[in-house]
Amino acid sequence: MMATEAFTIRAETNIVHMLDNLAGSLDRSRNYLVNQAIKEYLEAHAWQVEKITKGIAAADRGELVDHDDVVREMEDLIEQKAKGRA
């Protein structure tokens, strides 16, 4: 079992009611749902920060793609997709 630590948050009343309703529907505790939500939030944002950081580093190294090349590639993909559905 992982170590836990208690802390307090203040939330809008409607959020607390929504949380309690969902917890009841899922037969889970409020604490479980809050921990799951925090975990998912942190994982998503860590992924985004990592990708942004890598992108900035690539740009700093001059590893850029010309805008016109990107537009052309997207147009080609759209055209291929449209032909596949015809």
pLDDT tens digits, one per residue of 23-42: 999 999 999 999 999 999 99
Binned at pLDDT 50, 70 and 90, residue 56 comes out as: very high
Q: What are the Cα distances from residue 66, in Å, to 52, 57, 62?
A: 18, 17, 11
Domain ranges of the chain: 13-85
List all residues 6 or more positions away from 20 whose beta carbon is below 8 Å from its beta carbon. Answer: 30
**Is residue 19 pLDDT above 90, yes or no?**
yes
pTM of the predicted protein model: 0.62
Task: Kindly report the average pLDDT of the chain as a whole number.
Answer: 93
Binned at pLDDT 50, 70 and 90, residue 76 comes out as: very high
pLDDT of 83 reads 87
